[in-house]
Amino acid sequence: MKEFSDPLYGFVKLNPLELSLVDSLPFQRLRYIKQLGVAYLVFPSAQHTRFEHSLGVLYTTDRIAKNLGLKEIKLLRLAGLLHDVGHPPFSHTTEVLLPDEKTHEDFTERVIRETEIYDILRKELSSEDIDRLIRITLGKPKDEGERLLSDIITGEFGSDRLDYLRRDAYFCGVSYGFFDYERLINTLSYEGNTLVVDESGLRALENFLISRYFMYVQVYFHKVVRILSIHLIEFIKKLFKREDFKDIRNYLRINDANVIAKIFEKEEYREDFYRIFGRKHFKTFLSTSDKGIYEEVKKEILKSIPHDKVRFDEVKKDVYSGNIYVRTGKGIVKAHEVSSLIASLKPIEVYRIYVDRSVWKDLEYMQKTL
b/e per residue 190-215 (b: at least 16 CB within 10 A): eeeeebbbbbebbbbbbbbbbbbbbb
What does the pLDDT read at residue 362? 79
Total count of residues recorded for the chain:
370
Confidence of residue 53 (pLDDT cuts 50, 70, 90): very high
- Span 212-235, mean pLDDT? 96
What does the pLDDT read at residue 329? 92
Residue-wise pLDDT for 65-103, tens only, equals 999 999 999 999 999 999 999 988 898 777 777 766 577
What does the pLDDT read at residue 365? 67
User: Which H helix or E strand runs over 343?
Assistant: helix 340-343
User: Which H helix or E strand runs over 78?
Assistant: helix 73-82
| More confident call, 88 vs 327 | 327
As a whole-number percent, the residues of the chain with pLDDT over 70 amount to 98
Q: What is the CA radius of gyration of the chain?
A: 22
- Span 38-67, mean pLDDT? 97
What does the pLDDT read at residue 364? 72
- Span 237-250, mean pLDDT? 82
Instruction: Give the whole-angstrom CA distance, residue 41 versus residue 175.
Output: 19
Q: Look at residue 316 and give its three-state secondary structure.
A: strand
Which of these ranges, 5-9, 48-52, 301-305, 311-315, has the smallest mean pLDDT? Answer: 301-305
What does the pLDDT read at residue 99? 66
Torsion angle defined by CA atoms of residues 1, 75, 139 and 137, in that order, rounded to the nearest 10 degrees: 40
Report DSSP state, residue 257: H
- Span 292-315, mean pLDDT? 94
Q: Which residues contact 84 (CB under 8 A, 6 or more apart)?
A: 30, 50, 53, 54, 57, 104, 108
What does the pLDDT read at residue 78? 98
The CATH superfamily of 2-173 is Hypothetical protein af1432 (1.10.3210.10)
What does the pLDDT read at residue 72? 94
Mean pLDDT, the chain, rounded, equals 92
Report DSSP state, residue 46: -
